[in-house]
């Protein structure tokens, strides 16, 4: 069934949603309300070019929109929802952690790039961001718990960070690690979890065009509860792969043991590719609930991003549990 969903600019003021409000604000930031009226389609929206390196602590938003990721095929999730319904176990094992997360100190934020690289790097998150090509993408996001959202993320492709890091030819994986500060994050005192939160990708996954480091959301710097100042977004994988508040990227020839793989090996694995036909041991993955309107929609293989990533797995041994 093909449903015509009206775009923000087709919606009358009285029925404007938070999503429409987002696009309106973006247009204003991009040069005035007149722009919105004059712009027939999002795809032709004028966005400011990425300027020369800036000197402030953060990099000005919004970033230019990547035309390959303009249309997610479903409505944006309201910013009020995406910023108040979160998974971030460092701040509690429930969804209402947004307030607690405000205790996280995000400036300064040192990022370490080490392991099998030509020369290890240590730099502030904002400096890192200024050195990489910034853009905005609207992405579908699917948690393993079968809820989903659609978010305008901004940041840079992980591939650009990999290029900056100059891994040596022996590197096979990127291991990523979250901060560990029990004084700011009460979850870190829950000793039964294998802190710090760790994730990993193969080099082919890390350098895929779809793999993104988000430093912003909804046209602004990303809020702490969503993983400030930098978090991974791998939209074809279950949400737990999208590690938040990263402090270290390590290039290695060993497959990293990830947080959820260690915490619950019978339910969570390294690959975690979205697949509606492979149920979680405790629930079906056939459908998902869209945050906001609570509509249930069919889940798609690779969360609908097979065009970008299906090729990565074509020649994998069948013993690999790609979908958990």
**And the tokens for 227?**
């993983």
Cis peptide leading into 229, omega within 30 of 0? yes
Residue 91 interacting entry, from Mo ion, ligand MTE, none, C-beta within 5 to 8 Å by type: none
By CB under 6 A, tell whether 239 contacts ligand MTE. yes
By CB under 6 A, tell whether 148 contacts ligand MTE. no
Site for Mo ion in 94-133 (CB under 5 A): none
Q: Is 139 or 143 the residue whose CB approaches ligand MTE more closely?
A: 143
By CB under 6 A, tell whether 226 contacts ligand MTE. yes
> In whole angstroms, how close is the CB of 11 to ligand MTE at the nearest point?
25
By CB under 6 A, tell whether 178 contacts ligand MTE. yes
> In whole angstroms, how close is the CB of 39 to ligand MTE at the nearest point?
29
**And the tokens for 172?**
């096979």
The number of residues in the chain equals: 324
> In whole angstroms, how close is the CB of 143 to ligand MTE at the nearest point?
4
By CB under 6 A, tell whether 234 contacts ligand MTE. no
C-alpha distances in Å from residue 48, one per residue of 30, 275, 286: 6, 37, 40
In 3D, which of 271, 299, 295, 272 has the Cα closest to residue 285?
299
Q: Figure out which of the listed residues 101, 113, 128, 143 binds ligand MTE, where binding follows CB under 6 A.
A: 143
By CB under 5 A, tell whether 87 contacts Mo ion. yes
> In whole angstroms, how close is the CB of 142 to ligand MTE at the nearest point?
8
**And the tokens for 260?**
């959820």
Residue 216 interacting entry, from Mo ion, ligand MTE, none, C-beta within 5 to 8 Å by type: none
**And the tokens for 8?**
């923000």
By CB under 6 A, tell whether 197 contacts ligand MTE. yes
Stretch that binds ligand MTE, among 72-80, 86-94, 168-176, 298-306 (CB under 6 A): 86-94
In 3D, which of 264, 258, 251 has the Cα closest to residue 200?
258
Residue 178 interacting entry, from ligand MTE, Mo ion, none, C-beta within 5 to 8 Å by type: ligand MTE
By CB under 6 A, tell whether 100 contacts ligand MTE. no
> In whole angstroms, how close is the CB of 211 to Mo ion at the nearest point?
17
Q: Is 134 or 231 the residue whose CB approaches ligand MTE more closely?
A: 231
Contact residues for Mo ion (CB under 5 A)?
A: 87, 143, 239-240
Which residues make up the interface to ligand MTE (CB under 6 A)? 86-90, 143, 178, 197, 226, 239-240, 242-245
């Amino acid at each position: 069934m093909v449903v015509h969903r009206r775009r923000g600019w087709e919606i009358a003021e009285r029925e404007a949603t938070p999503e429409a409000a987002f696009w309106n604000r973006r247009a204003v930031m991009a040069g005035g309300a007149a722009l919105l009226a004059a712009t027939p389609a999002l795809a032709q929206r004028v966005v400011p070019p990425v300027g020369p390196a800036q000197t402030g602590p953060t990099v000005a938003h919004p970033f230019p929109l990547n035309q390959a990721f303009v249309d997610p095929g479903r409505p944006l999730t309201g910013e009020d929802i995406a910023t108040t319904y979160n998974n971030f176990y460092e701040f509690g094992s429930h969804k209402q952690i947004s307030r607690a997360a405000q205790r996280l100190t995000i400036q300064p934020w040192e990022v370490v790039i080490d392991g099998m690289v030509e020369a290890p790097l240590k730099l502030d998150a904002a400096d890192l961001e200024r050195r990489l090509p910034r853009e905005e993408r609207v992405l579908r996001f699917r948690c393993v718990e079968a809820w989903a959202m659609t978010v305008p993320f901004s940041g840079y492709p992980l591939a650009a960070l990999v290029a900056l890091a100059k891994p040596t030819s022996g590197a096979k994986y990127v291991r990523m690690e979250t901060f560990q500060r029990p004084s700011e994050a009460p979850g870190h005192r829950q000793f039964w979890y294998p802190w710090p939160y760790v994730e990993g990708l193969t080099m082919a996954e890390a350098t895929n065009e779809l793999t993104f480091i988000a430093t912003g959301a909804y046209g602004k710097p990303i809020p702490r509860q969503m993983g400030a100042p930098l978090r991974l977004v791998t939209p074809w994988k279950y949400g737990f792969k999208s590690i938040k508040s990263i402090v270290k990227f390590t290039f290695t020839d060993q497959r990293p043991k990830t947080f959820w793989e260690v915490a619950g090996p019978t339910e969570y694995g390294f690959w975690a590719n979205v697949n509606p036909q492979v149920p979680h041991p405790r629930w079906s993955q056939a459908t998902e609930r869209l945050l906001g309107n609570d509509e249930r929609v069919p889940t798609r293989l690779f969360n609908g991003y097979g065009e970008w990533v299906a090729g990565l797995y074509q020649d994998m041994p069948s013993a690999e549990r790609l979908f958990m």
